[in-house]
Amino acid sequence: MDSTSRSSAHVPHPDTVAVHAGRADFAALGVHAAPIDLSSTNPLPDIEHGGDSYEAMATGRHPLAEGGNVYARLWNPTVARFEEALAELERAEASVAFGSGMAAMTAAILAHTTAIGKRHVVAVRPLYGGTDHLLDSRLLGVETTFCGQDEVHKHLRDDTGLIVLETPANPTLDLVDIAAVVAQAADVPVLVDNTFATPLLQNPIDLGARMSLHSATKYIGGHGDVIAGVIACAEPTAEALRRVRAITGAVLHPLGAYLLHRGLATLPVRLRAQQENARRIAEWLEPHDAVAEVFYPGSHDERGLVGRQMRGPGAMLAVRLHGGYAAASAFIDGVELFTHAVSLGGVDSLVQLPAALTHRPVAPEARPAADIVRLSIGLEDADDLIADLARALTAATAAAAPVPVSAAG
């Protein structure tokens, strides 16, 4: 094989893709950093061209060339570059970005249910609390059957339009075998919330899923300064999603797209360091007397999905503490380096009690226990994080200890 053949056959490593994807037009534009187009409206060359382009985008297609962008609710070049980059990382034909992860989830549900006359969804629990609440609320006019990953086929109906799952799942890091669910799904589209894994550790479309959804607010942005969602998929699915986005106005602001595109470049390095920190912290937590259980894919993977479906266990973990809610509350009050806050995947470490926050709207039977604390591991030194957790676990142990009789009376 000559050098030209070798070059054309070479597939770039995801680290390289993360840096270079979505930048093909930079040289022609004469720029090195991603340009931010903040235009809310765009000049039109003539009425007919503008109208044709408007119609194309309103139905989910791309704008016409040379003056066809029309209006930012329909198309923005800064957003489109991020979408191109994310699709390449997910090894998908396209991706569609939204103003939040929940806007992305809403669009996916609408496009595959009520928009095509189907009103039933099968959802594998556990799920992120916002997704669970949305599906359970019937706000979108759909009926949802919740089940375990091995029961999906039992609940399919003629009007089932979508199967929703999350893996690793929020907050207890349950792993779902994507290919096994796809095998049960027949021709029903499967959406995988891939937020915890990111495109670097897991590619659901390779396993037969129709859509891979990310709350891009998390690892993709990575710095706690942007709210966004994105779905990687094939182009026909992207058209359906863009149509919902155009009608509902669930657009991503171009400044947010710029931050996400910039975040992709450092995602591989960030995630590797965060994952290594999480591994060390999980190993330290496992034998601790104050800890009843550690939820971490690196040590609890009964189906053997890490290494087969996922390329690593990720940087999220959760712990169940001895002593119930009192211990969990004291633990959260006891941290100093960890910030008590919702969200995850940023450069700094976060801690929260899902039952009281992100999963509070979830039905009681599916809500995580009040003694489970979720940890998002950041880029701080692992020894410093462990020292912080040690102080907090001492506080948790004290809160969980029975009150001596002499002190009580």
Q: Which residues are catalytic?
A: 73, 128, 193, 218
Q: Which residues contact 128 (CB under 8 A, 6 or more apart)?
A: 166, 169, 170, 193, 195, 215, 358
Place of tokens 């489970």: 372
d(CA 285, CA 323): 16
Longest dimension (CA), the chain: 88
Bridge-based pairing of strands 143-147 and 160-166 is unpaired
Peptide bond into 368 cis (omega under 30): no
d(CA 190, CA 121): 10
On whether the CB atoms of residues 301 and 407 are closer than 8 A, the answer is no
How remote is the C-alpha of 352 from its chain's centroid?
17
Q: Exposed/middle/buried for 67, CB within 10 Å: 0-12, 13-18, 19+?
A: middle
Dihedral pair phi/psi, residue 379, rounded to 5°: -105, 5
9-18: which pairs have CB atoms within 8 A and are 24 or more residues apart?
A: 14/89, 14/199, 14/200, 14/268, 15/268, 15/269, 17/85, 17/88, 17/89, 18/85, 18/89, 18/200, 18/264, 18/265, 18/266, 18/267, 18/268
d(CA 133, CA 214): 18
Stated length of the chain = 409
